[in-house]
Amino acid sequence: MALDARRESLEALEIACRLAADDRARITAMIVIEVPALLPLDAHFADEEEAARQLLERAGSTGDGYGVRVDARLVRVRDTAAAIVAQATSDRSELIVLGAPRAELARSPRRLAPDPVLRVLRDAPCRVMVVSAAGSRSAA
């Protein structure tokens, strides 16, 4: 599962933990730092990395609460969707769980650069569950 600090992502983590607990499965919680093409992959992102580490610790604690093993991954990439799909392929995942605000889901898929959620839905090697927080409507 791809993780960030948005409410939808944290709700997706809870759902993933519940599902994993039912099946005695493990979760790979992945935080992606997308590095712009103009910067080297090892560019300085200390604040983002610290926030990511704290979020991964929170994911581990959430997993512990459900009795679920959470493998934490922090990756630096150029393409978020490709990294999520590659991790799911590598792990032979049965399910990718993503959190996304409803406004993000309502955007047109005809944009020049497809939304990462849409690209994961298109390219995933397994089922994908997209979680949108209850009551997270916004005008689009």
> How far is residue 44's CA from residue 126's CA, in Å, rounded to a whole number?
34
In-domain check, residue 67:
yes
In-domain check, residue 96:
yes
> How far is residue 52's CA from residue 32's CA, in Å, rounded to a whole number?
9
pLDDT the model gives residue 38: 93
Q: How much is the mean pLDDT over the chain?
A: 88
The distance of Cα 111 from the centroid of its chain, to the nearest Å, equals 21
95: helix, strand or coil: strand
Number of separate domains in the chain = 1
In-domain check, residue 58:
yes
In-domain check, residue 21:
yes
pLDDT in tens, 99-124: 988 765 555 455 544 588 899 999 99
In-domain check, residue 2:
no
In-domain check, residue 137:
no
In-domain check, residue 136:
no
pLDDT the model gives residue 135: 58
pTM, whole model, 2 decimals?
0.83
* Domain carrying residue 106: 7-131
| 5-40 b/e (C-beta count within 10 Å ≥ 16 → b) | eeebbbbbbeebbebbeeeeeebbbbbbbebeeeee
pLDDT the model gives residue 140: 37
In-domain check, residue 111:
yes
> How far is residue 67's CA from residue 31's CA, in Å, rounded to a whole number?
21
- Residue 126, domain CATH: 3.40.50.620
